[in-house]
Structure 1
């Protein structure tokens, strides 16, 4: 008895087995959560990607059961006994679902945010996304000087060591030149890296070059 599924990649070499919460209602939020955390996906880095996916799911379930890493053989051998079949992912998105055995009922996708919050609460405190999950998304062009956004950095320092994660940063100006071969004219820059000779507007890592960011509200 369970709500079983396997998550694998197009290469079909390894898979993450879920005994519970194997419907798309939770598989997609598990994947989305890993993407928000900027983890390398299994399709690009199998060793690291499968480990991070299993880590997030294992933290959610707790205990010593309910999730495992399994060698993948063939679709015909892997799908029997799975309530939800096999999810094939590229990046952190499902690109194919091998059908579950006949007679098993698939559950339609639900609203992802409550599931993301539930997953986040089960992670170690230093790993949680917290208020980031509920923050509205904005494009850099919509920001004004003084606005605060969540910015991802691989150089966030936690308990004496560097660890990738999101930090709050304030927009302090707009670029007006080319920097490191990138035209940053009109692009907001933030106060994330303000020490040393390459700081502020002179540090390309301070510029908001992604398509969107999450706005810090009630800061």
Structure 2
């Protein structure tokens, strides 16, 4: 508005330049509209890019867990198969895997990872009984938490509900041998699960 007043003052003093000043006023008006116009909106983030990041986290965690599993077997050799009823069960067949949906698949992953997080917390609390494995267990546990947070952040972006499945109640730490057996079961199960989870994440990403 101040610029317009100055132009009109010039017009009053120089009548011969009326049309030139009118053109200048029009040009200034257009400039003001241009300056007031909002800038271009940023493009929305592609959830597939975030999926790629989560897949990489899962694969890196799989590598760390494989290393932990091998170290655990070498440090605490134990024959036979060790199981815990509180661990997630991989019961999805090939047809179910191919037909997995975004909402249900991510909810399943989130719920299972929370369950594994609880088991690794339990193992880390048994550190005095598994002191040689304390560092490796801590590394896997921290990266598991990071993967879970990224997954939950993605679910929030996609407006998907978070699962409210109850977490398992684990027993008090018993003897050294009972903790070793539980450790074998947890680490081996998590190793197999992450291999499955990485493939599931890729399938879900391709459905977006």
Q: TM-score range by the shorter chain?
A: under 0.3
Structure 1 or 2: more strand by fraction: 1
Higher relative contact order (CA 8 A, sep 6+): 2
Q: TM-score, length-normalised on structure 1?
A: 0.23
Structure whose alpha-carbon radius of gyration is higher: 2
Structure 1 or 2: more helix by fraction: 2
Q: TM-score, length-normalised on structure 2?
A: 0.24
